[in-house]
Homo-oligomer: A and B are copies of this chain.
Amino acid sequence: MSEDSLAEAQQSLGNPETTYPLWPPQTLGCPETSTEEVQYPLEVTYDYESVDRGLFESELTKFDRWSPLLPPLADIGLGEGQTPLIEMPSIGDWLDLDTPVFVKDESQNPTWSHKDRLNRCVVSAAVQTDARGLVVSSSGNHGASTAAYAARAGLPCIVLTAPETPPAVQRFLRTYDAAVIAIDDWHHRQETLDLITERLGYHPASTRTAIHTGHPFGPEGYKTIAYEIVTHLNRSPGTVFVPTGHAELLYGVWKGFRELGDLGVIEGTPRMIACEPAARGPLATALETDREIATVKANPTTASAIKTQTSTVRGRRAIEESDGAAWTFTEEQLSAAQTRTARGGLWQEHSGVAGIAGLLAAIDAGQTVDGPIVCLATSSGFKDGETWTAPRVDPPSISESDSNSSQAPMTARWAAVREILSTQYGLDV
């Protein structure tokens, strides 16, 4: 257990004067400021006066290093964080930008997505409240990450999924020994999550409110992304593009930059850009229509991990406080972003390149974007739905029988290889 956390209390995003003790985590949103229409999440406050400024001087990156500015951590680390920030000419040149574009590759985490930073904090809270286990409602990255940290902590984990999750996702969840139950109705899943929390004493790792509030300790884990970016660049980026669903990542990363600005570690803070699929875009809608929360239609999108219908308070706050914006990208822009990112050596799932798709959308719309630009890339291409379901495409093949020509076999094979390289792959051979 880390003993150097400077965490002090929980504070409402509905009203900063509404605070609660640090323990227990308020997992039903803010009891005082929430209304029937809008439920407000809580965040964690710290004794910032006591932060050693030396904390930010070097680039040594280990998640536990940041424990003064995190909720108390249990000793259940799996090597989360310390992901690389990679300058990607394949994106900067493509978009004809005169400022460098960096990609923060969150697929290099223990369960190959950014969610591990959140779950290190949330499962630590479960350990410290002597919970009997973890319960989470998810059909993908988040549930598997919760299950991995629960396993590491020696706690059982119950994952409530929708039916029809792909076999590989089932295997991903089961490998960490999670108890998986499929429940076909969203409201019934939420009701079951509540019952498992209240009656069985399990700690909830996903939201319990209709308007997403999530776990108050979760976005704290994402702050470490901002810390890592700043210690790498030795300055604030100009603009940060973030794949956005419930905006826990957006808010957490923003909060990290805000803290670094307040602590005087950086001059100025970046503009935060929420990147949502144009098929949905609830946060963009909320901002356009000046509403605290907006709900949109459930149009289809391949960005399955961020296809939310309802915006959140965290999303709005991050945009407002950072003088940011919400950009929506088309499915075509998302595919182009995935291809271009892989052409630079990083393969991400569709949702994972939403930040790069948002940058593309901004450039396509003629926006100027202050540099340095950072795009968060959140999850491995192995998790992409298409990886499991795309029709089998066999490569061009050369077999022994192809060599039975009048030429010597080797000569015939070599001619066939050159033909394939030239005509099918366009190589100059």
The chain A residues found within 8 Å of chain B, CB to CB, are 58-62, 76-79, 82-86, 90, 105, 107-112, 133, 148-149, 151-152, 156, 158, 161, 163, 167-168, 170-172, 174-177, 179-185, 188, 191-192, 195-196, 200, 342-347, 380-383, 386-388, 390, 392-400, 410, 413-414, 417, 420-421, 424-425, 427, 429
Instruction: Say yes or no: A398-B108 contact (C-beta < 8 A), given A78-B86, A79-B83.
Output: no
Per a CB cutoff under 8 Å, which of B188, B382, B397, B429 touches A200? B429
Known: A177-B342, A200-B429. 5 other contacts (CB 8 A): A60-B60, A79-B83, A82-B82, A188-B400, A191-B410
* Copies per assembly: 2
Q: A198 CA to B396 CA in the complex, in Å?
A: 22
Question: Contact between B79 and A393 (Cβ–Cβ < 8 Å)?
Answer: no
Question: Contact between B343 and A176 (Cβ–Cβ < 8 Å)?
Answer: yes
Q: What residue of chain B has the Cβ atom nearest to residue A152's Cβ?
A: B345
Q: A133 CA to B426 CA in the complex, in Å?
A: 13
Question: Contact between A105 and B84 (Cβ–Cβ < 8 Å)?
Answer: no
Per a CB cutoff under 8 Å, which of B170, B184, B346 touches A398? B184
> In whole Å, how far is A378's beta carbon from the nearest beta carbon of chain B?
15
Q: A421 CA to B151 CA in the complex, in Å?
A: 17
Contact partners of A200 in chain B: CB under 8 A: 429
Contact partners of A185 in chain B: CB under 8 A: 399-400
Question: Contact between B396 and A182 (Cβ–Cβ < 8 Å)?
Answer: yes
State the 10 A-B residue pairs at the shortest beta-carbon distance, nearest first.
A79-B84, A152-B345, A179-B425, A382-B382, A180-B395, A182-B397, A148-B345, A175-B342, A184-B399, A167-B392
Q: What residue of chain B has the Cβ atom nearest to residue A386's Cβ?
A: B171
Contact partners of A112 in chain B: CB under 8 A: 107, 112, 380, 382
Per a CB cutoff under 8 Å, which of B60, B84, B342 touches A151? B342
Contact partners of A86 in chain B: CB under 8 A: 77-79
Instruction: Say yes or no: A179-B427 contact (C-beta < 8 A), given A108-B109, A388-B168.
Output: yes
Q: What residue of chain B has the Cβ atom nearest to residue A158's Cβ?
A: B421
> In whole Å, how far is A311's beta carbon from the nearest beta carbon of chain B?
28
Question: Contact between B182 and A382 (Cβ–Cβ < 8 Å)?
Answer: no
CB-defined A-B contacts under 8 Å, sample of 10: A59-B60, A61-B82, A78-B345, A151-B345, A161-B395, A170-B393, A170-B395, A175-B381, A181-B396, A183-B397
Contact partners of A105 in chain B: CB under 8 A: 78-79, 110
Question: Contact between B383 and A414 (Cβ–Cβ < 8 Å)?
Answer: no
Per a CB cutoff under 8 Å, which of B82, B382, B400 touches A380? B382
Question: Contact between B110 and A346 (Cβ–Cβ < 8 Å)?
Answer: yes
Contact partners of A386 in chain B: CB under 8 A: 171
Contact partners of A387 in chain B: CB under 8 A: 168, 171
Contact partners of A399 in chain B: CB under 8 A: 163, 183-185
Question: Contact between A156 and B78 (Cβ–Cβ < 8 Å)?
Answer: no
Q: A176 CA to B168 CA in the complex, in Å?
A: 22
Q: What residue of chain B has the Cβ atom nearest to residue A145's Cβ?
A: B345
Contact partners of A111 in chain B: CB under 8 A: 347
Contact partners of A59 in chain B: CB under 8 A: 60, 62
Contact partners of A151 in chain B: CB under 8 A: 90, 342-345
> In whole Å, how far is A376's beta carbon from the nearest beta carbon of chain B?
14
Contact partners of A420 in chain B: CB under 8 A: 179, 181
Per a CB cutoff under 8 Å, which of B77, B110, B168, B410 touches A382? B168
Q: A191 CA to B417 CA in the complex, in Å?
A: 11
Contact partners of A343 in chain B: CB under 8 A: 151, 176-177
